[in-house]
Amino acid sequence: CTGKVTLLLKNLLVLTVATKQTEGFQRFRRSAQFFNYKVQVLGLDEEWKGGDDKKPAGGGQKVRLLKSALKQYVDKEDLIILFIESYDVLFASGPTELLKKFKQAKSKVVFSAENYIYPDRKLEAKYPQVRDGKRFLGSGGFIGYASNLKKLVEEWKGQDDDSDQLFYTNVFLDPEKRVGCVIGLSGCLLMRHELTQGVDAKKLSCPIMCNMVNCLLQLQLNYLGNYIPQIWTFETGCTVCDEGLRSLTGFKDEALPMILIGIFIEQPTPFLSQFFLRLRNLRYPKQRIQLFIHNHEQHHLMQVDSFVKEHGKEYLAVKVIGPDDEVENAEARNLGMDLCRKDPGCDYYFSLDAEIVLKNTETLRILIEQNKLVIAPLVSRHEKLWSNFWGALSPDGYYARSEDYVDIVQRRRVGLWNVPYISSVYLVKAKVLRSELDQGDLFHSGKLDTDMAFCHNVRNQGVFMYLTNRHQFGHILSLENYQTTHLHNDLWQIFSNPEDWREKYIHENYTAALKGKLVEMPCPDVYWFPIFTDIACDELVEEMEHYGQWSTGDNTDSRIQGGYENVPTIDIHMNQIGFEREWYKFLLDYIAPITEKLYPGYYTKTQFELAFVVRYKPDEQPSLVPHHDASTFTINIALNRVGTDYEGGGCRFLRYNCSIRAPRKGWTLMHPGRLTHYHEGLPTTKGTRYIAVSFLDP
């Protein structure tokens, strides 16, 4: 028995048509090499006239090429030929397995079978019924003796763009011809890897397919270090990526590839100044970077302007398209890409949306080194499954969850993945923009959204999109609750984007303070530690001044009559600017934990009725008479800098005859409110001093 199979093996030849050596074709060939299939490629570098995706049928060119290739094998009696597509197919098992299945099918020619009838649905009634398995012929792959195949295609007189599928279907449905050629169908012939249609392994009923999946899984375990085939839609394991790596180490700055970065601000987006800061911090010479910025939002005009004014000159070139240019999303993306495509000096196009928080400063280098035509770094929402890629497509081209989606997002499986959809941040080789992707309009396709249209078009050109999660790159902002009604809207983002809020507003040494380091005690039981960044202080002050309705400081103020404030100050309360909820969250997240550390045994929910910013000026209200606070404990955050912004100021605790005369910007005092810590505000003698005060647990 084995002897017979060996004999057959020697006589097995794979024929495939590939006019272009697409990435899909290269993958096909790698898998063929892996299993030792003998492959002959037909039509290489010939012009493809077999139809395109705009025409439903087509493929006749393949029949013509097969017919003419078979001429050379007329007298090879026992030659078995597998005729198979290559752009979206890979081998999942070896020739022995294939021949075994061929024999089991007990026909001289065996076609792969499909669940759907195509292209002529009217022929359905003519199809024989099947008890289980698939009923309809698929021309994507068939196997048979050379002589029978020759007979099969003998009558082909069609055009290159006629349907091959219809031709074979008609032969199959003609009982006389079918018997003449001895055609059978088998759904289990081969595994088809249909990237564009996102075949879901679990939905495939054919048991042999499932065996193949198992076989692949085994391969992955056993053959690390060699070529690893893809499981369904993924390229797994790092051996694959290593083979094509392109190292940038040792390159002089001026020899590095030139990158055009397309930046897209398509909707109101928080933390945009941080975005520009990170852009500047990318480790890549700015003289090798051109910027194309599309800002769709009036709201962001100032931030974009100030970035371009202050830093535009550092870059090789900067082009801005603003809201008044009235360029829509897809059109803007086409423009950006086209700038790179048409510039012979441009080596890479890097598309970056404003809601992407790219923390890894090495991102550009890492992506270039992967040496792929199109590659995205994985980014996802903080601790969420929402990310910038899809692992699979539903049959209608929308999102489908792939088996390992979660593992990839959470980086439990790390590698370079071939995926059907990427968005928001990706690198494209300019070379491919000038070849496969040279059509000017990549961002439209029917009614598809811009991002989906792009991926659809890239897939259609046989270009693979890769995703790497081999490094941490960053995350995606939530845009859902971004209000634009304030001066500094980011302050309100503590709920929606807490990590980004923390990074922007919480002092870098707060964590040390929380561990008890850097906390000072300038007066008995008065603690002093860093809490806010300079930006937090500045924005809070500006927000208050922007609001502008400072209390008058006399007792006509209703809040004071209500008896909350022991002594009136010139102030604006957090609730007046609609910041109460956010302030409470800040107190709970950042003040409560440190309070409990510093005053052990005291537990706080940081409740407050009074939280406000006080303004001291020599000619307005320079100081505050001695008083107790209406609180269990009080925090008092200095919002500006003594010496530069004002002179004098500070706080004196009378019982201890102890003063803090040089408050530090961004640092807070924390002290008990009643009974012991009777205190006064020392006079501000010049400039304006601001503090943020909260009476906690009144």
Ligand X SMILES: *[C@@H]1O[C@H](CO)[C@@H](O)[C@H](O)[C@H]1NC(C)=O
Binding site for ligand X (CB under 6 A): 508-509, 657
Whose Cβ is closer to ligand X: residue 211's or residue 509's?
Answer: 509
CA 389 to centroid of chain Cα atoms: 6
Closest CB 512 distance from ligand X, rounded Å:
7
H/E/C letters for each residue in 293-334?
EEECCHHHHHHHHHHHHHHHHHCCEEEEECHHHCCCHHHHHH
Give me the helices (H) in 468-624, please.
498-505, 510-514, 534-547, 558-561, 580-586, 592-598
Radius of gyration of the chain (CA): 35
Q: Catalytic: 652?
A: no
Whose Cβ is closer to ligand X: residue 509's or residue 576's?
Answer: 509
Angstrom distance (rounded) from CA 406 to CA 195: 19
Closest CB 524 distance from ligand X, rounded Å:
14
168, 172, 177, 182 alpha-carbon torsion, rounded to 10°: 100
Whose Cβ is closer to ligand X: residue 644's or residue 657's?
Answer: 657
CA 58 to centroid of chain Cα atoms: 36
**How do 684-687 and 646-648 pair as beta strands?**
antiparallel
Instruction: Check if the beta carbon of residue 504 is closer than 8 Å to that of residue 535.
Output: yes
Angstrom distance (rounded) from CA 433 to CA 458: 10
Whose Cβ is closer to ligand X: residue 430's or residue 513's?
Answer: 513
Phi, psi torsion values for 490, nearest 5 degrees = -60, -30
Q: Give the burial string for 104-116 (b: 16+ CB within 10 Å, else e).
A: ebebbbbbbbbee
Closest CA to 423 of 510, 362, 333: 333
Closest CB 517 distance from ligand X, rounded Å:
8
Whose Cβ is closer to ligand X: residue 243's or residue 508's?
Answer: 508
Closest CB 523 distance from ligand X, rounded Å:
11
Angstrom distance (rounded) from CA 371 to CA 377: 13
Whose Cβ is closer to ligand X: residue 199's or residue 537's?
Answer: 537
Within 10 A of 630 (CB to CB), how many other CB atoms are there? 16
Closest CB 513 distance from ligand X, rounded Å:
10
Closest CB 637 distance from ligand X, rounded Å:
15
Residue 591 gets which letter from DSSP? I
Query: SS3 for 35?
Result: coil
Instruction: Check if the beta carbon of residue 126 is closer than 8 Å to that of residue 57.
Output: no
Whose Cβ is closer to ligand X: residue 191's or residue 540's?
Answer: 540
Closest CB 654 distance from ligand X, rounded Å:
9
Which of 278, 365, 459, 689 is an active site residue? 689
Please identify every residue annotated as catalytic.
689
